[in-house]
Amino acid sequence: MIRVALFASGTGTNAMKLLEAARELHHIEIALVLVDQAKSQLPQRMKNENPRHTYRVKVIERTGTREQHEAQITEALVDAKIDWVFLAGYMRILSSEMTKKFRFINIHPSLLPLYAGLDAYERAFANGDAESGITIHHVDSGVDTGPVIVQEKFPRLTTDTLDSFMDRGKALEWTLYPQVLKKLNDEGTL
Ligand code: GRF
């Protein structure tokens, strides 16, 4: 079994898609779901949409220094014997010590290296780009850097509003991220 942790901070829709996908993947066990903000919608979504499943959800709020927070996260990852961590809207920058200790994967809503950092959809849309895309990549100590696993484009239509543009991107995120989890299941590595 490959033991996977999901980390989220906000709405948690990608994490939900990964949880759903994992049900069909016989070599993947989601052994930990970690949320770092009490206001994240993910725990409630999991209760509403997955009432039969009892995943281990941990809320580790960042209260002290980054070092203290990462020490708590490390303990949770070691306790759950995690092999891979999928970041799903986790709004923290991990230290290089963390990224050396564990294998992290991230999803970013742009054609990296374009629009690394926050508000990638908004910036691509404001710039009037004819297309944008989604990138799933290994995490290193930089911000949205690290080797790319998969990158896929989606078009911006002339009729798009920011909302319809983001909806098209999110739909692609929800397809691509589970595909990467399946690749890990099938190939044993990424
Ligand atoms: C997604 O757009 C993802 O690409 C980015 O953060 C957002 C998280 O959305 N890293 P959700 O919490 O999965 O709905």
Count of C-beta atoms within a 10 Å radius of residue 73: 24
CA 107-109-114 angle, 5° bins: 110
The length of the chain in residues reads 190
Over residues 58-62, the mean pLDDT reads 87
From 27, 108, 137, 138, the catalytic residue: 108
Q: In the annotation, is 108 catalytic? A: yes
Pocket of ligand 1 (CB under 6 A): 8, 10-15, 88-89, 107-109, 173
Count of C-beta atoms within a 10 Å radius of residue 153: 11
Tell me which of 6, 7, 14, 115 to substitute to probe ligand 1's pocket, judged by most ligand atoms within 8 Å of the beta carbon.
14
* Ligand 1 atom nearest to CA at 166: 2
pLDDT at residue 64, as a whole number: 86
**Residue 48 pLDDT greater than 90, yes or no:** no
User: By C-alpha distance, which of 2, 10, 55 is closest to 26?
Assistant: 2
Over residues 76-81, the mean pLDDT reads 96
Distance 149 CA to ligand 1 centre (A): 17
User: By C-alpha distance, which of 158, 86, 151 is closest to 120?
Assistant: 151
pLDDT at residue 53, as a whole number: 65
